[in-house]
Structure 1
Amino acid sequence: MVTIAFLFILVSSTLLSILLDMHLYDLSFFQTLHFSLTLDAGTRKTIVFTALITGLLASFILDYRMSKEESEKKEAR
């Protein structure tokens, strides 16, 4: 469940950012998507993507732990 919430927030914030860029710079959706997702070495985007990947891995671990605890509780009953 944590992973689904993380992905929902990630996708919605990315789409909102792209829509704002489309409006401000008068570019197409695919141009702004390409501009938003291209990485250049040493930029802040690299740092942001590293944080996003770390957050995704952490949400996978949390979901695994939560499902493992739930299965242990069911077995204890």
Structure 2
Amino acid sequence: MLDYSEKGIMDGLVAAHSFDAIFYILSQTASQENVYLAIKGLRRTVDIANVSRGVIDQALQIKWPDFEDAIQ
């Protein structure tokens, strides 16, 4: 999917709260410099999805097994 976003075939969206989780996970095995480069690359590839009260309410209503995926 990121490949499609990079090529402009589709819009990639990531919730803002995912960036800190990704940063944390990457920082467990990579240098801070490389983690920042990776996060900057991701940010160039995707846009930030708005996560509002309405999005959370919808995620609660659909009851997906993975709540984080429902928010995304």
Q: Which has the larger radius of gyration?
A: 1
- Give the TM-score, by structure 2 length: 0.34
Task: Point out which structure has higher relative CO (alpha carbons under 8 A, 6+ apart).
Answer: 1
TM-score, normalised via structure 1 length: 0.33
Relative to its length, the structure with more helix (as a share) is: 1
> Which one has a larger percent strand, Structure 1 or Structure 2?
2
